[in-house]
Amino acid sequence: MNKPNYQFVLTMLFSAVFLLCDSSFAATDLQVLIKQCNSCHGPNGHTERGDVPALAGKPVSEIKAAIAQFYYFERHCPNKRPRTEKGTGSSTNMCSIASTLSDEEVAALAQFYNSH
Ligand code: HEC
């Protein structure tokens, strides 16, 4: 009788679980990130204040390029206070925000704001 290939079965099982979890996490994370961005950039990137630019409808390539510039400190990043439902949050800036984002998150955010 053939011995079942446990290693193969386990690898497939872990891959499936990993992929399932990964995609559901990504969807939740994107909503959390969008909420964070909106707290300065306005609802879906439609700005409501003069000191933060709009993101809505911006070309994907421009959004990605701007984030890369903040990431490398090639563009100035003034401290701003986000506005949340709970009130005013503690001040932060685009350079520290850019440093927390993965390439996948930047791509997803750029797509989102481009289409809003
Ligand atoms: C604390 C407030 C704040 C938060 C939160 C914030 N931003 Fe910004 N963002 C700014 C400010 C202020 C600028 C303009 C900086 C400058 O003076 O050039 C900016 C600029 C940008 C630009 C360049 C826009 C342009 O027209 O050149 C992009 C793209 C951007 N932000 C994306 C994001 C994304 C994506 C998020 C969420 C992950 C985010 N921002 C979260 C304050 C914020």
Atom 25, ligand 1: residue with shortest CA distance? 53
- What spacing in Å lies between the alpha carbon of 21 and ligand 1's midpoint? 29
Could you list the pLDDT tens digit for every one of the 116 residues in the chain?
A: 667 788 888 888 887 777 665 655 566 689 999 999 999 999 999 999 999 999 999 999 999 999 999 999 999 999 999 998 889 999 999 999 999 999 999 999 999 999 99
pTM of the model: 0.83
pLDDT value at position 27? 65
- What spacing in Å lies between the alpha carbon of 18 and ligand 1's midpoint? 32
Atom 33, ligand 1: residue with shortest CA distance? 37
pLDDT value at position 15? 79
The CATH number fitting domain 6-114, selected from 1.10.760.10, 2.120.10.30, 3.30.1330.20, 2.60.130.10:
1.10.760.10
Closest to 34 measured CA to CA, from 112, 116, 114: 112
pLDDT value at position 23? 57
**How is the chain split into domains, by residue range?**
6-114
pLDDT value at position 114? 98
DSSP string computed for 62-107: HHHHHHHHHHTT-S----B--EETTEE---B-HHHHHTT--HHHHH
- What spacing in Å lies between the alpha carbon of 38 and ligand 1's midpoint? 9
